[in-house]
Amino acid sequence: MSEFQKSMSERCQALLQQYPQWLVRVQSALEKSPVRLENLPLSIEIFDQSGLLLGVLLGETVYSGASTLGVKSEFLAWLYDGELVVFTIDKEVIVNRIIPEISTK
């Protein structure tokens, strides 16, 4: 078990073991640089365990999937231009590579 997994709750550890492809993406994202909001992505995709929930391309919603009635998302993964930038399980933030823009006004 990696150090980052040891820092997560048991629930998060167990859930990521069920989705090994997301575990690999999370581990990779944790090694990458932060992303500044001033550099807006061309595409934004939001996934949960069911697949793609929302896709936005060049500021226009191009896909909006309906979640299954009564099924709660086990996790949410936000991808900017194909790179994982946010990954949450319940209220636990596992990955947050976004640096908020600081106003200089």
| pLDDT greater than 70 at residue 6 | no
pLDDT, tens digit, 9 for 90 and up, residues 41-75: 899 999 999 888 889 988 877 887 766 667 789 99
CA 19, 96, 67, 9 dihedral sign is positive
Average pLDDT over residues 71-93: 93
| pLDDT greater than 70 at residue 4 | no
Distance CA 47, CA 82 (A): 12
How many domains does the chain contain in total?
A: 1
Is 104 among the domain residues? no
pTM for this model (two decimals): 0.84
Average pLDDT over residues 37-43: 83
**What tokens does 101 get?**
């823009």
Q: What is the CA radius of gyration of the chain?
A: 15
- Domain around 14: 3-99
Is 105 among the domain residues? no
Is 69 among the domain residues? yes
Where is pLDDT greater, at 81 or 101? 81
Average pLDDT for the chain: 85
Is 71 among the domain residues? yes
